[in-house]
Amino acid sequence: MRLFASLATLALFASGAFAADPPVLKSAKSGPWSAPATWEGNAVPGAGARVLIRTGHTINYDVKSDAVVRGINVAGTLAFATDKDTVLNVGLIKIQAGEAYSEEGFDCEGHMEEPAAGTVRAALLVGTPDAPVAAGKTALIRLHHVEGMNRETCPAIICCGGRMDLHGQPLSRAWVKLGATAKVGDTLVSLADAVTGWKVGDRIIVTGSQTHGIAKTESLTEERVVTAIDGTKLTFDKALTMGHLGEGEYRAEVANLSRNVVVESAAPEGVRGHTMYHKYSAGSLSYTEFRHLGKKDILGKYAIHFHLCRDTMRGSSVVGCSIWDSQNRWVTVHGTDYLVVRDNVGYQSVGHGYFLEDGTEVYNVLDRNLAVGATKGKRLPKQVLPFDGNEGAGFWWTCSLNSFTRNVAAECGNYGFRYEATPSSSLKLMFPIRQPDGSRKTIDPRTLPFVRFEDNEVHSSHGLYGVNLGEGVNRVGPDAKHPFVVKNLKIWDVHYGFRPQVPNLVVENLTIYKVAYGVYHPNYDHHYYKNVYIGYTNTEPFNRGHDDLSVQYGPLVVDGLTFDGIRSGGMPLIQISDDNPTGLAVTHMRNVKTTNWADGSKQRALANLGGGPRPTPKSEKGVPIYFHDWFGMNRHAMVVSVKSGEFKADPKSFRDEPNMTGNESRVAEVKDVAFPAFPQIVDDLPPATVITGVAKKDGKLVVRGSTSDNGTVKRVTVNGKDAKSTSANFSEWEITLDAATELKAFAEDEAGNVEKTPMVVSVK
């Protein structure tokens, strides 16, 4: 039977029923890809070739070829020419040490060992940070599905302990705000800031800014091609079909999708490609275009994926890239710490856009990124966190100990920003989290606050929420000394504005404009708000605790609250919560203002019970609202529900007050009620520092990096010398040093916290 089987197999080969894999074509020495002498057998790789670039060899990719190479294993270096146009059509690029060709092993982190110090890594170099692909030249990697390859894992670019650097020509900014309102029919728009690096022929998008009256199936964002640039003026190939706001506080964005380094899928409607970094890898991505990538409904196969790298890639970054038309997210940070993701454009994604996957990621920086059009996808099979419905958030995370600053989400599926951490009988939410000293400790991630959440914005979405902060956390959060702190948050032109379901929350400078519901379904439990503006929000501007449950568990303090242009249709501006199960619930407000408030013949009330199902209160005490100094200095208004125990105990002490109380609320004047102090936040978290780049110039080292902290950074030190801050609070910094073989960087904040795990980099 064995002999018969062998003869049968040989017969099949002979008949051409199937063919043996072609031999592996190995590099013979360093040299140009196009030179026959570079390769064993003097044959340049062609269509269907299986290629191995051997350890110690550097191959300069110098061609534009239509031939589809089956696969390239890079154990040496594959470096694209930066001074000419190049095109590589390929099924798989795998960057990994070793002398064996393989198309498998996509979970290589499971058996990877840390490279020894001084080891020369396998490397794919499409430009470098200091020598990107030259202006006017393009490097294109087109990923093809090749028959016989695994459709779930290929085509792909996979970095397994090697180095992958992709760097195109820098842009001063990847996206900016409009400088003036663009009208229907316009072919010229003004930018709020001048840009460099943008050029004629670039593909741009103008984001939507007015969802009202637009069908939910209709996109608000318009794509155009630049035909002329004059300072801050852009001319397009076609007229705009929608208006886009560009004046005052509420403006659309203009984003550039074009880069001169491109990774794309050859068949966007067929088998798509993906990219992936694994543990112990190195390298960064800057000013590169990733288009038509991501495998729809397949776990782990994303446009850009940092997979279980932990802190082994500390110092890596994704800067100035465009990731568009992805069928599976834009940037996924999975089990990875200390990554910098800055000034990128994500446009059109199935599922979440910028995604922190498993609830253990810490000290990552997401800064000044634009998320446009992340749409609802399917729950992915075998995903780490089963509660994630993949419902289309511009930004999604479970562990908050990261920095989210200056990001904008527009026209995203159900959420602009979504913090989700929902325990279940099978998932207890106790994860190993990195500590400031580098150790790991099993912690409930719900108890961890932000490093920083500041200057973020959401607008123009037909979906559910602008910011959903913690729906499902079951009232678990950080302690009162380490609260969630949200600063300078702007939400406009969405349905539900801000859903704060976490306890122990401090919010400073919150703007909510033209939304259906303002502060919605909140868990008021040690919530402190300062300077809140709610404008033209007509349904429920300031919702009761847990909406229809109407329950409040702790104090709510608001200092500075302006309602502007509300047409509430009889609904109160502030809804009173019914139940006080802890006995600790109370609301204190001062500096409350109403402007442009008129409802015609409808009854107006500043504070009342509001609509919806209102069950009989279960608690003896209600939840009084104190409006401090309402009637004059130290003459406070105490507003209560007529269903509350306070009112029932002494109804004669309360009265109706036009424009303040409604049909189910009454007010009494009281004195000597202290306005609560804002919480004394304890800063015991050290800063987190990364070195993102080292360049040699005139015999010196120019070192650049990024530091994040929940407070004010006092200094960043590299090799004992102070770096210069080039962006607010050392979020970007730079220093020039004498030549050295090793760099050691760490930071100290104003509270005296010194970073316990400095970043150390060897310099060759």
Please state, rounded to an integer, the average pLDDT across all residues of the chain: 94
Q: What is the pLDDT of residue 13?
A: 39
Amino acid at 457: E
Segment 378-396, tens digit of pLDDT? 999 999 999 999 999 999 9
Q: What is the pLDDT of residue 598?
A: 66
Q: What is the pLDDT of residue 601?
A: 44
With 70 as the cut, is the pLDDT of residue 213 above it? no
Q: What is the 3-state secondary structure (H, E, C) of 259-282?
A: CCEEEEECCCCCCCCEEEECCCCE
Which candidate, 67, 66, 69, 87, places its Cα nearest to that of 25?
Answer: 69
Q: Categorize the per-residue pLDDT at 4 as very low, low, confident or very high, splitting at 50, 70 and 90.
A: very low
Q: Categorize the per-residue pLDDT at 602 as very low, low, confident or very high, splitting at 50, 70 and 90.
A: low
Interatomic CA distance for residues 636 and 626, integer angstroms: 7
Segment 234-265, tens digit of pLDDT? 999 999 999 999 999 999 999 999 999 999 99
Segment 546-574, tens digit of pLDDT? 999 999 999 999 999 999 999 877 789 99
Amino acid at 442: T
| Residue-range domains of the chain with CATH | 23-169 (no CATH), 175-256 (2.40.30), 526-678 (no CATH), 688-762 (2.60.40.10)
Q: Which of 360-374, 595-609, 693-707 has the lowest mean pLDDT?
A: 595-609
Q: Categorize the per-residue pLDDT at 108 as very low, low, confident or very high, splitting at 50, 70 and 90.
A: confident
Average pLDDT over residues 22-35: 97
Amino acid at 402: N
Segment 61-84, tens digit of pLDDT? 999 999 999 999 999 999 999 999
With 70 as the cut, is the pLDDT of residue 713 above it? yes
Rg (CA), the chain: 29
Q: Which of 100-109, 221-230, 750-759 has the lowest mean pLDDT?
A: 100-109
Segment 271-290, tens digit of pLDDT? 999 999 999 999 999 999 99
Q: What is the pLDDT of residue 607?
A: 97
With 60 as the cut, is the pLDDT of residue 415 above it? yes
Q: What is the pLDDT of residue 16?
A: 43
Interatomic CA distance for residues 418 and 420, integer angstroms: 6
Q: Categorize the per-residue pLDDT at 599 as very low, low, confident or very high, splitting at 50, 70 and 90.
A: low
The DSSP letter of residue 5 is H
Q: What is the pLDDT of residue 386?
A: 94
Q: Which residue has the higher pLDDT, 104 or 150?
A: 150
Average pLDDT over residues 363-376: 98
The DSSP letter of residue 54 is -
Average pLDDT over residues 145-167: 96
Interatomic CA distance for residues 497 and 539, integer angstroms: 11
Question: How far is the first Cα of the chain from the last one, in angstroms, to the nearest whole number?
Answer: 61
Asked whether the beta carbons of 718 and 746 are under 8 A apart, the reply is no
Pairing mode, strands 665-670 and 635-641: antiparallel
Q: What is the pLDDT of residue 247?
A: 96
C-alpha count within 13 angstroms, C-beta hemisphere, residue 604 = 16
Q: What is the pLDDT of residue 107?
A: 78
With 60 as the cut, is the pLDDT of residue 6 above it? no
- Cis peptide, bond prior to residue 449, ω within 30 of zero: no
* Tokens linked to 347: 């446009």
C-alpha count within 13 angstroms, C-beta hemisphere, residue 324 = 20
Torsion angle of the four alpha carbons 544, 547, 553, 556, in this order, in degrees rounded to the nearest 10: -30
Q: Which residue has the higher pLDDT, 754 or 10?
A: 754
Q: What is the pLDDT of residue 600?
A: 53
* Tokens linked to 600: 């015609």
Average pLDDT over residues 706-720: 98
With 90 as the cut, is the pLDDT of residue 110 above it? no
Segment 488-545, tens digit of pLDDT? 999 999 999 999 999 999 999 999 999 999 999 999 999 999 999 999 998 899 999 9
With 80 as the cut, is the pLDDT of residue 17 above it? no
